[in-house]
């Protein structure tokens, strides 16, 4: 029992982390083995003991042990339990992954990123909910703990000083995702969207379908983390191709009118917009158009298919992982694409 207690002392769960608990268990055991705190042939606590000690479900503990067994780290003997089978574990990469929020498309980034790294790295995943103070605190608390820091920098308030805290991270460890911050200097990796250029290009691709409408309205909340460059690209397009345009800060009080295309960014705004359209006799794709930001599986089905303009989130995750594996500081743009469907 003393052995088991000593093992518990070397394992630490971060209950504020978005990293699945079973993966935290996997990463902590591998870390303890690599640091020599757990020895070869050492018996691990039972699944029930692990579950009780760290207040995690039995299924979570079992899933962690199974993953370690699949990696060849653990062996098992019926009646005796699990033991350390292999201490030669090649997992030198430790990644701090920081997202502004978790959504359907952010999950795509996470899944492709984690899959591309595979078992070569452990990932600690955190979410700061667009709150700069939480963002700052997490980076300060986790300084010098990781081989790489992968960060999506989107804020509702206070983000004007984000470059200062991000610049405390060594550039050879830094990868910026989704949005570039010009104030960050030095050679660091980045996989990003060019928001102004990309919305302009996507709307250009949609011109044949847009030609039956006279007005484009973009639903862009006053308080939002979405980059202002989106509005610049939208306005430039409308001026170039002679569309009447309007920036709508709240769809709740905006009347739905014939001949108008509505571009939404937030999923909640899309719900309000659809409800408003369904309350009229207008047909989507004939009298009124809908374009939604960011591709998700549901948008292929809703209203017989909603037109989206979206970056390739799967590619974004894979490219970020590749920068880590290649020790690269390249800057890789991920362009938008137009997914044209009956809503336009």
Kindly report which listed range (31-40, 144-153, 215-224) carries the lowest average pLDDT score: 31-40
Token pair 């290649």: residue: 326
Question: Where are any strands of DSSP class E within 181-252?
Answer: 189-192, 215-219, 244-248
- Beta-ladder partners of 43: 83
* pLDDT single digits (tens) 224-276: 888 899 999 999 999 999 999 999 999 998 999 999 999 999 999 999 999 99
Residue 116's pLDDT is 95
* Structure tokens given for 243: 């569309």
* pLDDT single digits (tens) 204-220: 999 999 999 999 999 99
CA distance 264 to 251: 9
Residue 91 reports pLDDT greater than 70: no
Helix (H) or strand (E) holding 149: strand 148-151
Residue 72's pLDDT is 84
Q: Decide: 108 and 315 in contact? Cβ < 8 Å.
A: no
Q: Within 13 Å of residue 118, how many CA atoms lie on the same side as its CB?
A: 8
Residue 214's pLDDT is 97
CA distance to 164, 192, 265, 280, per residue, from 334 (Å): 25, 6, 18, 38
Residue 342 reports pLDDT greater than 80: yes
Q: At a CB cut-off of 8 Å and minimum separation 6, what does 281 contact?
A: none
Residue 90's pLDDT is 66
What b/e readout covers 120-144, taking b as 16+ CB neighbours within 10 angstroms? ebbbbbbbbebbbeebbebbeebee
Percent of the chain past pLDDT 90, that is, above it, reads 60
CA distance to 76, 205, 230, per residue, from 201 (Å): 57, 6, 12
Specify burial of residue 295 (Cβ count, 10 A radius: 0-12, 13-18, 19+): buried
DSSP conformation class of 161: G
Token pair 């909640």: residue: 268
Which band of pLDDT confidence, cut at 50, 70 and 90, is reported for residue 4?
low
Residue 5 reports pLDDT greater than 60: no
Residue 35's pLDDT is 83
Q: Decide: 104 and 312 in contact? Cβ < 8 Å.
A: no
Residue 23 reports pLDDT greater than 70: yes
CA distance 213 to 334: 29
- Residue 98: name the closest of 115, 122, 133, 123 by CA: 123
CA distance 119 to 93: 9
User: Distance from first CA to last CA of the chain, Å, rounded?
Assistant: 66
């Amino acid at each position: 029992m003393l052995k088991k207690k000593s093992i518990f002392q070397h394992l630490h769960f971060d209950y504020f982390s978005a990293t699945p608990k079973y993966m935290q268990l996997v990463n902590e055991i591998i870390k303890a083995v690599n640091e020599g705190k757990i020895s070869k042939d050492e018996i691990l606590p039972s699944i029930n003991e692990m579950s009780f000690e760290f207040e995690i479900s039995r299924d979570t503990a079992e899933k962690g042990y199974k993953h370690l067994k699949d990696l060849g780290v653990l062996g098992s003997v019926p009646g005796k339990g699990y033991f350390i089978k292999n201490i030669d574990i090649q997992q030198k990469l430790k990644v701090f992954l920081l997202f502004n929020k978790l959504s359907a498309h952010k999950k795509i980034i996470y899944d492709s990123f984690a899959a591309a790294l595979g078992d070569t790295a452990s990932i600690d995943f955190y979410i700061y909910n667009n709150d700069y103070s939480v963002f700052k605190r997490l980076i300060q608390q986790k300084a010098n703990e990781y081989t790489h820091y992968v960060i999506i920098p989107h804020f509702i308030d206070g983000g004007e000083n984000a470059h200062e805290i991000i610049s405390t991270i060594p550039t050879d460890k830094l990868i910026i995702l989704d949005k570039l911050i010009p104030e960050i200097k030095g050679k660091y990796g980045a996989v990003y969207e060019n928001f102004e250029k990309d919305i302009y290009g996507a709307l250009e691709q949609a011109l044949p379908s847009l030609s039956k409408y006279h007005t484009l309205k973009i639903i862009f909340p006053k308080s939002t983390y979405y980059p202002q460059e989106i509005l610049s690209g939208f306005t430039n397009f409308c001026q170039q191709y002679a569309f009447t345009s309007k920036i709508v800060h709240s769809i709740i009080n905006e009347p739905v009118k014939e001949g108008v295309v509505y571009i939404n960014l937030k999923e909640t705004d899309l719900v309000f917009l659809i409800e408003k359209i369904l309350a009229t006799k207008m047909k989507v794709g004939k009298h009124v158009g809908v374009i939604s930001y960011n591709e998700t599986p549901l948008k292929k089905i809703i209203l017989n298919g909603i037109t989206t303009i979206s970056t390739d989130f799967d590619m974004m995750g894979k490219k970020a992982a590749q920068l880590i594996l290649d020790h690269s500081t390249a800057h890789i743009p991920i362009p938008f694409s137009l997914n044209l469907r009956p809503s336009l």
